Structure 1
């Protein structure tokens, strides 16, 4: 008996979806509740379970198809049988019905030449079945047939169970539907594991109640010796065109490469640009540099930017946050720790200025000078590198007009600063030469909208052009 598997109501107000993956094949024997296809909507990815057990006769959809509630996705040859006959397939039933006479002939030999009686009984049995199986007639002959059928069914069931067990072990790796270990993971995470060739049963989940996250899958893949989530392209033999030299990456560059790759892959970046007239800031720095030098520091634009950003993070708390995708929460931090990128001979280091909002420009200038020197001397501790909420990368001393820095996970934003230059600015009906500072803001679009990014940048520009209100607090 054929059975249709249809698309159910996926979720409230969602009636259509796109087929992202077919989880079964024609001829597979499936169980009720087993996922048969994966679909994606604009809100989520989910697996559609079978509403009946049986053998897959026909698959009615393909990957990429758009499906609606009620659409048929599979046709099953539904398993049949009562308490005395277990899951006998339609093909086997047809075969048995077609060969009843042959089977009866064999029984005639076993029952010592009773062929004529058997044939009469069998003929009567067929007549009884065609008349809706009248009970009670030739009961003894039916019981004998049933006993023999049970013996055959038992053998067939044994073969079926062995085959089913084999199919189960084969399917455990890609689908994890019949695994010996209960796995907690979303359909999207399961799909990622299949695409990366990772056995999800081997992964230890770091989420709540042991739930496996995308990060767990990527980490497991990377632990297997391959870069997670990337296609490793084969390099050509460069020596064919000239001399080459290979040098191993140092620990700083290896760590940087790993961290920026993970951040770039997991964070959807948006970039916002702005320009600030810092002519007044430069005058302020000139007037106060000796006072800061007496305290043991150097008054730099980075120190002033750190103070301005610290104030901005109180006004725009989402920039001082992290996002927990698994729990669908944002984590708003009540403290302000700012990373300062420092270029060293060994590579990029990003130490942290703790509680930057509670320190004066002079204090920040001294601390930034000290921690930058520790970075160049390779004397930073783990504590110096941990706990940052927002980052500043100032390449003004090197040059360039603009750049787009990568957000450091688990932060949600970073400010890029390029070299200031003199530009004519129209003021009071006249053009005046002013020092213009290019700024670039990178932020995580999962948490921060474009309007928030523009508002943050506009506030930063105004604070730099008229800093007293922001800096005197």
Structure 2
């Protein structure tokens, strides 16, 4: 029997919603209460469940459609499994009854023929009967096993409990969500389950956390939950540190000329709505370096044993916020002037501090720059962001005496730290990249125009 599944009341005072995702396809076998579409309102995102089990005959909505309470979502061909099972049992019982009557008739006929014979013949019939019973039992066990296996397969292909957001992440990561065993309440699939499945792990994370002692035995303590930014950062850097063999290269560049350039042009950039900083100039110099050293603009694919060389230059800029470290992306940095980069970096840094970064602002980076010069320090070793292969760390510039033309002159020296993935980049490449960066910062006109 065909039935219509309609949009129920979504929430109090909400009559319309936007279809964000179709969770089933035509021809799918679905269970009662299984989510069939996901909808979004200005208040929340939720799944619309099926009110009956059956086969999806026709889907009446598409992603992006506006739907109202009472609108038809899909046409479902309802299946009465209980009736089918009852009919099967009835048929089995009738066949069994007929079989038993036939066997009884045969046995009665045989007994009449063998009645005058010795009693020992009765014992010869029992192995045959036992063999029949064993064959019948084995057949029933095999049939039952097949039914259980079929039910198990059906369950795994239909009963998937996950939120629309988790389903979207699974789709973006090219993960078959039906293959995942959920660790959430009532077997619900979480974002963590999807990401761990993508990494080839099932169930709990393979990362072994060291057990902590009870610190309260030595004095007063206070616990605070990690916010989402710090939690995500912690997972990402741990994964990067464990999967990427890091090598660190250090350098020191005389940026006295660049500091003068910033002083001479900062007012011009201010009027354009940006802020001329060393980070903007570093972004332009790094963008040029990535063309000269394309291996630093690549990623490693160990599964297929190949490197992925990117023809575009997108650079992550680390931004310190009250909630934690964020690394938004400057897209096509090689195609922009220093003034344009200054304006864009100022804008995206403010968006990061205001927690207004979009998903697109955070994706697609090829190389990262982390500038801690405004805070202080002499050198540090930043962790490469997977799936990138390198990151440049910048510390605070200090005035040092530099021997030039037989004299010592006060110069502003900038400490640089380059971290890179040794699976793809060897020491010679790392040293060459750092040397070019130092020379480019000391003579940016030649580097950028050469």
TM-score bracket for the superposition, by shorter chain length: 0.5 to 0.7
Change (3 A) 1:451 1:220: closer
**Which residue of 323, 341, 345 maps to 1:364?**
341
Answer yes or no: is 1:434 the counterpart of 2:391.
no
CA distance in 2, matches of 1:428, 1:203: 68
TM-score, reference length from structure 2 = 0.56
Answer yes or no: is 1:416 the counterpart of 2:393.
yes
Which runs of structure 2 are paired with 1:205-244 in the superposition (5 Å)? 219=199, 221=201, 224-226=203-205, 228=206, 230-244=207-221
Structure 1: tracts of 5 or more residues without a match: 1-201, 205-214
Structure 1 residue 217 displacement after superposition: 6.6
3-state secondary structure, aligned to 2:401 = strand
Structure 1 residue 240 displacement after superposition: 1.3
Structure 1 residue 472 displacement after superposition: 4.6
Structure 2: tracts of 5 or more residues without a match: 1-178, 182-194
**Structure 2 residue aligned with 1:470:** 447
CA distance in 2, matches of 1:218, 1:285: 46
CA distance in 2, matches of 1:430, 1:305: 29
Structure 1 residue 224 displacement after superposition: 2.3
CA distance in 1, matches of 2:448, 2:356: 31
Answer yes or no: is 1:251 the counterpart of 2:228.
yes
Aligned length: 264
Answer yes or no: is 1:376 the counterpart of 2:353.
yes
Change (3 A) 1:216 1:255: closer
**Structure 1 residue aligned with 2:59:** none
**Structure 2 residue aligned with 1:279:** 256
Structure 1 residue 265 displacement after superposition: 0.8
CA distance in 1, matches of 2:208, 2:232: 19
Answer yes or no: is 1:459 the counterpart of 2:436.
yes
Change (3 A) 1:445 1:280: same
**Structure 2 residue aligned with 1:68:** none
TM-score, reference length from structure 1 = 0.53
Answer yes or no: is 1:315 the counterpart of 2:289.
no
3-state secondary structure, aligned to 2:417 = strand
Contact persistence 1:321–1:389 (CA under 8 A): yes
Answer yes or no: is 1:291 the counterpart of 2:291.
no
**Structure 2 residue aligned with 1:115:** none
Structure 1 residue 233 displacement after superposition: 1.6
Deviations 1:275-326 (A, max 9, x none): 0000010001000000000100010000000000000000000000111111
Deviations 1:100-154 (A, max 9, x none): xxxxxxxxxxxxxxxxxxxxxxxxxxxxxxxxxxxxxxxxxxxxxxxxxxxxxxx
What is the CA RMSD across the aligned residues, in angstroms? 2.4
**Structure 2 residue aligned with 1:395:** 372
**Structure 2 residue aligned with 1:72:** none
Deviations 1:396-423 (A, max 9, x none): 0000000000000110000000000011
Which runs of structure 2 are paired with 1:165-180 in the superposition (5 Å)? none
**Which residue of 215, 232, 245 maps to 1:268?**
245
CA distance in 1, matches of 2:198, 2:399: 47
CA distance in 1, matches of 2:390, 2:200: 27
CA distance in 2, matches of 1:399, 1:224: 42
**Structure 2 residue aligned with 1:443:** 420
3-state secondary structure, aligned to 1:343 = strand
**Structure 2 residue aligned with 1:349:** 326
3-state secondary structure, aligned to 2:352 = helix
CA distance in 1, matches of 2:270, 2:315: 22
Deviations 1:317-367 (A, max 9, x none): 000011111111111111000000000000000000000000000000000
CA distance in 2, matches of 1:400, 1:310: 25
Deviations 1:48-78 (A, max 9, x none): xxxxxxxxxxxxxxxxxxxxxxxxxxxxxxx
**Structure 2 residue aligned with 1:74:** none
Answer yes or no: is 1:331 the counterpart of 2:331.
no
**Structure 2 residue aligned with 1:189:** none
